[in-house]
């Protein structure tokens, strides 16, 4: 099992119990390649953890490899969450049908596996080009769940999907140790979305 842990600065930590973002499933989506959906799922997981942190939730991203393509290894994510300091696990899902999207997240008790809530973003965010806004809206909804902490916040104009895909490919390459490929993908993400702070930070990191 390989884990990627992305912490949130202490100044942003709220009064919640600690939240682990355990991945973003894309199984069943059509309209992009399988490779692009896998990269997109990786990017959305990182983006959700980042947006939760911006809202003051005590969040950490825990990505466990080994699941089937488009699926998360829920057992591995539950095992990893406590070691990352989280007692709640958030697992997202994206169903994309040729550009029409449905996004939701399950909030789960990491120690018992008990479902706590299913949350969904603003129902007007239904198109693929609104994905980044949907994740920000989803983060707002997650912060309102008991024990999560943080407060909702306005969300900014979106990030193009091709930038999210390249960001996800960069994360995948970085995690596999392929630094040149990660740099190339992060550069492509920044070129497609110059205001994409997550991609710019990742490029500086590698």
At residue 32, does pLDDT exceed 90? yes
Cα separation, 99 vs 97, in Å, equals: 5
Mean pLDDT (the chain, rounded) = 85
**Whether the Cβ atoms of residue 20 and residue 62 lie closer than 8 Å to each other:** yes
Please give the pLDDT value at position 205: 95
* Confidence grade of residue 12 (pLDDT, cut at 50, 70, 90): very low
**Whether the Cβ atoms of residue 121 and residue 137 lie closer than 8 Å to each other:** yes
Please give the pLDDT value at position 64: 52
Burial level of 143, CB count in 10 A (0-12/13-18/19+)?
Answer: buried
What backbone torsions phi and psi does residue 188 show, to the nearest 5 degrees? -65, -40
The residue behind tokens 């958030």 is: 90
Q: What is the pLDDT of residues 87-131, one digit of tens each?
A: 899 999 999 999 999 999 999 998 888 999 999 999 999 999 999
**Whether the Cβ atoms of residue 189 and residue 196 lie closer than 8 Å to each other:** yes
Is the four-CA dihedral 42, 43, 46, 51 of positive or negative sign?
A: negative
Please give the pLDDT value at position 59: 72
Please give the pLDDT value at position 86: 84
At residue 7, does pLDDT exceed 60? no
**Crossing angle for the helix pair 161-175 and 197-205, to the nearest 10 degrees:** 30
**Whether the Cβ atoms of residue 152 and residue 144 lie closer than 8 Å to each other:** yes
Is the four-CA dihedral 47, 52, 56, 59 of positive or negative sign?
A: negative
Alpha carbon of 90 to those of 25, 46, 196: distances in Å? 11, 12, 23
End-to-end CA distance of the chain: 23
Q: What is the pLDDT of residues 53-65, one digit of tens each?
A: 999 987 777 655 4
């Amino acid at each position: 099992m390989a884990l990627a842990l992305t912490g949130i600065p202490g100044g942003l930590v709220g009064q919640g119990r600690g939240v682990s973002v355990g991945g973003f499933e894309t199984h069943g989506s059509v309209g992009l390649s399988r490779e692009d959906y896998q990269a997109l799922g990786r990017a959305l997981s990182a983006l959700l953890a980042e947006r939760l942190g911006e809202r003051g939730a005590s969040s950490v991203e825990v990505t466990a490899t080994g699941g089937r393509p488009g699926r998360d290894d829920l057992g591995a994510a539950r095992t990893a969450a406590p070691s990352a300091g989280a007692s709640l696990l958030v697992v997202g899902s994206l169903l994309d049908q040729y550009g029409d999207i449905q996004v939701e997240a399950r909030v789960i008790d990491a120690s018992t596996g008990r479902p706590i809530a299913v949350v969904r973003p603003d129902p007007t965010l239904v198109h693929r080009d609104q994905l980044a806004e949907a994740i920000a809206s989803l983060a707002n909804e997650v912060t309102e769940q008991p024990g999560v902490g943080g407060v909702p916040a306005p969300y900014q104009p979106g990030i193009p999907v091709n930038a999210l895909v390249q960001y996800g490919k960069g994360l995948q390459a970085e995690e596999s140790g392929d630094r040149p490929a990660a740099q190339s993908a992060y550069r492509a993400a920044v070129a497609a979305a110059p205001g994409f702070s997550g991609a710019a930070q990742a490029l500086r990191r590698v």
